[in-house]
């Protein structure tokens, strides 16, 4: 009996130690989708202000997102579940790529699918509702994401290799599935299309 209790104790402590990634995935799984406004604050490694911005974010799991920056310059990154469109109206150009190969948007792949194999490339450590994702495959970005037990994301930070940090604070959240029309993109007339698929 004593050996059995020791074994149970070892398993419990092992699962507690190994469970940070699973806790994050379970929390993200609780919500099918959401809308939020965001404010962006980008700083260098030595805390110098680089940029401030504002925008809107719509997410529907799995793989649908519309990340639209409204200030200082308008840019939209839209995924229809298969393709990712990056549209910058000021330069009249849109780039389109295969979503699964879009390494620049790993954070959105992680947020929109808790079962994507890309999770295997990250070690996750938890401190209350804050989860730090450190890349183990040589990727030049790490992430910190704050997710409440309800599954609501309150903020996230993208940390570049040079130490630059882009902090996004989410507000005005509306939880639930988002109309899929929000994730359709048709290039406007006269726009240059850079097709990287």
pLDDT in tens, 72-88: 889 999 999 999 999 99
107 inside domain: yes
22 inside domain: no
16 inside domain: no
Element containing residue 16 per DSSP (H, E)? helix 2-18
13 inside domain: no
14 inside domain: no
Mean per-residue pLDDT for 44-55? 92
25 inside domain: no
How many angstroms separate the CA atoms of 36 and 104, rounded?
A: 21
Segments forming the whole domain that contains residue 169: 30-187
7 inside domain: no
Backbone angles phi, psi at 114, to 5 degrees: -75, -5
* Residue for token pair 């840019």: 75
Q: Token pair of 116, please?
A: 């994507």
How many angstroms separate the CA atoms of 102 and 83, rounded?
A: 9
Identify whether 62 is preceded by a cis peptide bond (ω within 30 of 0).
Answer: yes
Are 56 and 38 spatial neighbours (Cβ–Cβ below 8 Å)? yes
CATH number of domain containing 58? 2.50.20.10
Could you tell me the strand order of the sheet in which 75-80 lies?
Answer: 122-127, 130-135, 141-147, 153-160, 165-175, 33-43, 49-60, 64-71, 75-80, 83-88, 93-98, 192-195
Q: Which of 149, 105, 110, 150 is nearest to 126 (CA)?
A: 149
Count of domains forming the chain: 1
pLDDT at 14 over 50: no
Q: Which of 179, 181, 177, 183 is nearest to 78 (CA)?
A: 183
- What's the residue count for the chain? 197
Condensed to tens digits (0 to 9), the pLDDT of residues 107-161 reads: 888 999 988 888 999 999 999 999 999 999 888 889 999 999 999 999 999 999 9
70 inside domain: yes
């Amino acid at each position: 009996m004593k050996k059995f209790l020791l074994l149970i104790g070892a398993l419990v402590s092992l699962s507690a130690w190994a469970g940070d990634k699973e806790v994050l995935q379970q929390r993200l799984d609780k919500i099918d989708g959401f809308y939020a406004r965001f404010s962006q604050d980008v700083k260098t490694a030595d805390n110098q202000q680089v940029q401030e911005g504002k925008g809107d974010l719509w997410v529907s799991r799995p793989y649908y997102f519309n990340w639209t920056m409204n200030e200082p310059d308008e840019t939209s990154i839209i995924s229809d579940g298969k393709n990712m469109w990056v549209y910058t109206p000021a330069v009249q150009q849109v780039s389109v790529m295969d979503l699964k190969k879009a390494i620049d948007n790993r954070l959105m792949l992680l947020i929109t699918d808790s079962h994507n194999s890309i999770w295997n490339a990250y070690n996750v450590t938890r401190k209350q509702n804050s989860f730090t994702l450190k890349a183990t495959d040589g990727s030049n970005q790490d992430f910190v994401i704050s997710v409440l037990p309800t599954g609501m994301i309150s903020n996230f930070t993208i940390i570049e290799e040079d130490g630059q940090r882009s902090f996004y604070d989410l507000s005005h959240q509306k939880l639930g599935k988002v109309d899929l029309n929000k994730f359709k993109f048709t290039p406007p007339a006269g726009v240059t299309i850079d097709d990287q698929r």
